Amino acid sequence: MACSDSDYVYLGKLVQAQSANVVDPARKTLFESRLQPLVRVAGAANLEGLVGLLRESRSAPLHRAVAEAMTINETSFFRDVKPFDLLRDEVLPQLIEQRSAERRLRIWSAASSTGQEAYSLAMLLVEHFPQLARWDVRIIGTDLSREVIEYARRGRYRRLEMNRGLPAKLLVKHFRRDEDEWEVSEGLKALCEFEVGNLCVPSVRTFAFDLVLLRNVLLYFSKPDRTAVFREVHRKLSSRGFLVLGNAEQAEDSTELFRAEFSKDCYFYRPIFDEVRNRI
C-alpha cells in the first residue's frame, strides 16, 4: 500500500519542524527517492512503514535523519564567481584593515554543505592576502547534515565536483590527486573547521564573526524562519561585519536588522544596530 496524502503532509511538517526547510507534500517522488535509504535503515517495509515508525516514536534521531535526507546539498567551488570577486576586492581589504590590531578574522560558512564554499574562501585568502599567514584566521563551516559535514572534513572531492567552478591553477596548487579523488591541501584544511549545526537552533557560541556567508539555504525557508535566522546571524556578526546571501536571496523582505549595499555587481549586507534593534 502506498502512502496517503496525509502521510506526505505529515512528512512535510516534520521536515519543516526539524530543519525549517519547506518541502511541498505534493512532491511525492522526491520524498520517496530521498527517504528510500532510511526506510531500509529503519527496518521498515516501505515509506508507509517508515511514516508509521515516525508517527509512533518520538525517536529524535530518526526524525532528524528524515530532515537531513531531505536537504538539498547542491554546491560548487567559487559558486557564482561574483561574490568572491566582491570579497577579494572590497570586503576582505576592509576587514583586514579593521582587524589589523588584533590580527584575527572569523568567517562563517553557514549551511556549508560539502565544504566547497569554505575551501574556496581559504584559497581566496591564501592567494590574495598572503599577510594573513601570520594572523589567527578561522573559517567555520556548519551544516544540519552530518553526512556533508563529514565529507567536508575529509576534504576529498570527486571528478564531478572538481570540474565545478575550480580554476585550473588553484586545482594544481591546492589539491593532490589520489586515484580518482582529489584531496585538499593541509594548508587549506588548517584554516577550516566544520561542525554540525542547525541554523534554527540558537547556539551558545559567542564568536563575533567578521564575515558570514549564508547562501542558498534561506530560499527553502518560510518567512518567519528566515526572520529568526537573520536575528541569530545578526547576533553572531561583529558590528562592522559583512553578510553575503545567495544570488536569488535577499534580506529586506524578512528583517530590518540588515541594510543592503551593492558593489561589484553584487548585493551584500551590513548589520544595523541601536535604534532599530531596540524596536525589534
Ligand X SMILES: C[S@@+](CC[C@H](N)C(=O)[O-])C[C@H]1O[C@@H](n2cnc3c(N)ncnc32)[C@H](O)[C@@H]1O
> Interface with ligand X by CB under 6 A: which residues?
19-21, 71-75, 79, 111-113, 117, 143-145, 148, 198-200, 215-217, 246
Angstrom distance (rounded) from CA 201 to CA 179: 40
Does residue 247 touch other proteins according to CB under 8 A?
Answer: no
Does residue 176 touch other proteins according to CB under 8 A?
Answer: yes
What's the closest the beta carbon of residue 147 comes to ligand X, in angstroms? 9
Does residue 185 touch other proteins according to CB under 8 A?
Answer: no
Select from 8, 119, 157, 175 the one that contacts other proteins (CB under 8 A).
175
From the list other proteins, ligand X, none, pick the one residue 177 interacts with, judged by a Cβ distance below 5 to 8 Å according to partner type.
other proteins
Select from 4, 163, 239, 263 the one that contacts other proteins (CB under 8 A).
163
From the list ligand X, other proteins, none, pick the one residue 199 interacts with, judged by a Cβ distance below 5 to 8 Å according to partner type.
ligand X
What's the closest the beta carbon of residue 161 comes to other proteins, in angstroms? 9
Does residue 179 touch other proteins according to CB under 8 A?
Answer: no
Alpha helices in the chain (DSSP H): 5-19, 28-41, 47-56, 60-69, 82-86, 92-98, 116-128, 146-154, 159-162, 168-174, 186-191, 223-236, 275-279
Residues 6+ apart with CB under 8 A from 149: 112, 141, 142, 143, 194, 195, 196
- Cα separations in angstroms, 19 against 57, 240, 261: 18, 29, 29
What's the closest the beta carbon of residue 111 comes to other proteins, in angstroms? 20
Angstrom distance (rounded) from CA 134 to CA 190: 13
Q: Which of residues 102 and 265 has its CB atom nearest to ligand X in the complex?
A: 265
| DSSP assignment letter at 78 | T
From the list other proteins, ligand X, none, pick the one residue 159 interacts with, judged by a Cβ distance below 5 to 8 Å according to partner type.
other proteins
Does residue 31 touch other proteins according to CB under 8 A?
Answer: no
- Cα separations in angstroms, 172 against 120, 166, 169: 14, 10, 6
Does residue 201 touch other proteins according to CB under 8 A?
Answer: no
Cell 563575533, located at residue: 208
What's the closest the beta carbon of residue 80 comes to ligand X, in angstroms? 8
| DSSP assignment letter at 87 | I
Angstrom distance (rounded) from CA 143 to CA 23: 18
Query: For 224, what's the count of Cα atoms within 13 Å in the CB-facing half-sphere?
Result: 4
Contact 208, 99 (CB under 8 A): no
Does residue 41 touch other proteins according to CB under 8 A?
Answer: no
Select from 76, 198, 203, 250 the one that contacts other proteins (CB under 8 A).
76
Q: Which of residues 111 and 266 has its CB atom nearest to ligand X in the complex?
A: 111
What's the closest the beta carbon of residue 47 comes to other proteins, in angstroms? 29
From the list ligand X, other proteins, none, pick the one residue 169 interacts with, judged by a Cβ distance below 5 to 8 Å according to partner type.
other proteins
Residues 6+ apart with CB under 8 A from 132: 96, 105, 125, 126
Assigned C-alpha cell, 75: 554546491
Residues that bind other proteins (CB under 8 A): 76, 78, 80-81, 159-160, 162-165, 167-169, 171-172, 175-177
